[in-house]
Amino acid sequence: MEFSETVRLALGSLKSNKLRSFLTMLGIIIGVASVILLVSIGSGLKQYITQQFEELGSNLIMVMPGKIQFSDEGGREGGPPGVATNKLTLRIANKIQQESEYVKTALPIVTKSLVAKYGNNSHPTGIIASTEQYTVVRSSEVSEGRDITKAEVASAKRVTIIGPTLKEKLFADSNPVGKKISLADQKYTIIGVFKEKGATMGQDMDDMAFISITAASKQFNIEKLNYIYVESTSADDTVKTATEVKKILLKEMDEEDFTIMDSKDLLSSISSILSVLTIALGGIAGISLLVGGIGIMNIMLVSVTERTKEIGLRKAVGARETDISSQFLIEAVVLSLAGGLIGIILGFIGSLILGHFLKTAVTLWSVLLAFGVSAAVGILFGFAPAAKAAKLDPIEALHYE
């Protein structure tokens, strides 16, 4: 029997049992769609974090309070962070600025959640408090009004630059520059509005108010910093900068009291963790492909039993074992490939829908892997039913009830 005739018979058998064929494919469809969808979530998260670190700048390092570990004692990733008393102060930031030749700017940062009010309008937001260097170091452009001055920082003057989201919530389309808003019941004069920037490191920079660190310290009696941005003189000197900063800090506190994070090293560590997470998510979804393959095998075995007389008749009129096994194997592979194609389409659609709520990215390797595995599943799990059908004795098959 010619191969084309075998293919025609296999397709005809599947067509005559449309519902059973679809239900058989369902496991493969769900498996392929799940692999693509979960891998797209992991890949999208990786791309998002990479973008966030690129926005920080290649010449920035961060000094955080306490010891944050990215590996456990055995060198494996994912160790728990240490807990320590915050010892970062404005004096420490000034000391880093003055004593390191590789530090261009040491930027003290304080953040706080509060409610902003203007007239009858109020909005829960947050403040970022720092020096006049903040907008330069963080590449935050002022689209309306002006930047804060060194004199205003030194005098703890109550002025603020607000983000575009906060402007919209409190002022709608009107110009807010020159007007006063209440930040935690303290009046601040708006001197500018930031250009739209979006979220950075999980913080919506458009829905924030920037004030001087001196004004924040005076109003909220703040002594400790949330962290310190350290800008190196050059992207090539970040390692030297980190080494110098560490020496300066060790004169003031113990090594367990701070963590210095180089954006490149941190990004590398997080990317490695996210790569493992992405593979793990794909592996978990791949289990459903295995279940789908077992489903195909079970249905095909049932099909062999149901078609025993048909198989016996075909063998009685001259069909070879290879013809019978090829037909059943083709049926299994067609079911797997069709299920794989439908799963890819559903995975793409699901990723597009999820993309409205979180960052997703469908990768070519996940599509090829899912489709390749679905094809392999058809061959692997279709072999047993095909072999069983081919070995049926034609005389016994014709007498099967």
pLDDT digits (tens, 9 = 90+) for 210-260: 999 999 999 999 889 999 989 888 777 788 888 899 999 999 898 888 988
User: Is the pLDDT confidence value at 283 over 60?
Assistant: yes
Mean of pLDDT values over 71-99 = 67
User: Is the pLDDT confidence value at 368 over 60?
Assistant: yes
The answer to whether 141 and 192 are in contact (CB under 8 A) is no
Q: Are residues 31 and 127 in the same domain?
A: no
Q: Are residues 134 and 35 in the same domain?
A: no
Q: Point out the least confidently predicted range of 84-98, 141-155, 381-395.
A: 381-395
Q: What is the pLDDT of residue 226?
A: 92
Q: Indicate the residue among 225, 259, 286 that finishes a domain.
A: 225
Does residue 281 form part of some domain? yes
Q: What is the average pLDDT score of the chain?
A: 80
Q: Indicate the residue among 195, 225, 255 that finishes a domain.
A: 225
Does residue 66 form part of some domain? no
Does residue 129 form part of some domain? yes
Mean of pLDDT values over 349-361 = 84
Q: What is the pLDDT of residue 263?
A: 65
Q: What is the pLDDT of residue 58?
A: 60
Of 274 and 164, the structure prediction assigns the larger pLDDT to 164
Does residue 180 form part of some domain? yes
The answer to whether 224 and 86 are in contact (CB under 8 A) is yes
Predicted TM-score (pTM) of this structure: 0.57
Q: What is the pLDDT of residue 72?
A: 44
Helix axes 308-316, 321-354, angle to 10 degrees: 140
Tell me the pLDDT band of 31, cut-offs 50, 70 and 90.
Answer: confident
Does residue 27 form part of some domain? yes
The answer to whether 206 and 164 are in contact (CB under 8 A) is yes
Number of separate domains in the chain? 2
Q: Give the C-alpha separation, 7 to 231, whole Å.
A: 67
Share of the chain above pLDDT 90, in %: 28
Q: Are residues 112 and 219 in the same domain?
A: yes
Name the residue range of residue 32's domain: 3-50+270-398
